[in-house]
Amino acid sequence: MCVVISLLFIEDDDAIRLALKLALEDEGYEVREAPDGASGLAAFAASEPDLVLLDLRLPDISGFEVCRSLRASSIVPIIIVTAQTDTYDLVAGLEAGADDYVMKPVVPKELAARIRAALRRVHLHEVSASSSISKMGDIELRREQGIALKGGHELALTKTEYRLLCEFADHANMVLSRDQLLERVWGYEYLGDSRLVDAHVRRLRVKIEDHPDDPKHIVTARGIGYRLLA
């Protein structure tokens, strides 16, 4: 039985939305559309898609607010769409909870590759759990359940954040470069950049560190990457 993957594309530019919808349908996805933030949130609540594509520059609610709203209630993968020159938007979108990004003008094949990588992370999160339990101070990974706890309380991690924490735990006390993390967590070597890793590490620190600005678990190896202190 073939399982159809459903996508929600929130984009106010009709031409971009139609072109990418047709390209993604050719890839076998079911694509629902929304031209603004309010209708996008309503469509998400009604359809519960497998992945969300989100333009950051929407005519009503900003894409950042939409992203934060989705992330407050769901761990669905979110890929933001941003203009080439909007470096601030890119970082702010990742900080708002997005898992990945694609730059405009969007190349359909690149977008399809990012979607496949995001969905693969979801699949790995669901099937790769072992019976092992990892403990790092007051942080505990229960891989059989696919959850992380701090002080006995479950952390609200996205699937990408969870896989990032697992990668650090599997290589405790070892320095992992940003390129290594891109390949192992996001599943590609050349489609991402260091901003993707840095933004997710910052978000992860907020959730696991007592003082995110003075981290005791995930520390920076200046000029290289990051290291988890066991």
Identify whether 1 is part of a domain: no
Domain match, 203 and 167 both: yes
Would residue 21 count as lying in a domain?
Answer: yes
Residue 134 lies in a domain: yes
> CA-CA distance, 108 to 116, in Å (whole number)?
12
Measured CA to CA, the distance from residue 16 to residue 56 in angstroms comes to 14
Q: What is the CATH number of the domain that holds 73?
A: 3.40.50.2300
Divide the 230 residues of the chain into consecutive groups of 10 and give the mean pLDDT of each group.
83 95 95 97 95 95 95 92 80 91 90 89 58 78 89 91 92 93 79 81 95 95 91
The number of folded domains in the chain is 2
Q: What are the structure tokens assigned to 227, written together?
A: 């290291």
Range of the domain at 176: 128-228
| pLDDT recorded at residue 131 | 46
- One domain, residues 121 and 13: yes
What confidence score (pLDDT) does residue 174 get? 94
pLDDT at 10: 98
Residue 103's alpha-carbon distances to 55, 81, 147, 181, 218, in angstroms, are 10, 6, 32, 21, 29
Point out the domain boundary residue: 86, 110, 125. Answer: 125
Whether 82 and 152 share a structural domain: no
22 falls within a domain? yes
Written as six digits, the tokens of 173 are 């006390």
Is residue 35, in this structure, part of any structural domain at all? yes
Within a domain: 71: yes
Asked if 111 and 165 sit in the same domain, the reply is no
- Specify the pLDDT at position 123: 66
- The pLDDT value recorded for residue 124 is 62
How far is residue 24's CA from residue 28's CA, in Å, rounded to a whole number?
Answer: 7
- Shared domain for 166 and 91, answered yes or no, is no
Does 167 fall in a domain? yes
CATH number of domain containing 158: 1.10.10.10
Crossing angle (nearest 10°) for helices 108-127 and 159-170: 60
On whether both 76 and 114 belong to a single domain, the answer is yes
Edge-to-edge strand order for the sheet containing 78-83? 30-34, 6-10, 51-55, 78-83, 100-104
**Helical H runs in the chain?**
14-26, 37-47, 63-73, 87-95, 108-127, 159-170, 178-181, 194-208
Parallel, antiparallel, or unpaired for β 175-177 and 225-228?
antiparallel
Residues 34 and 115 in one domain: yes
Give the global pTM: 0.82
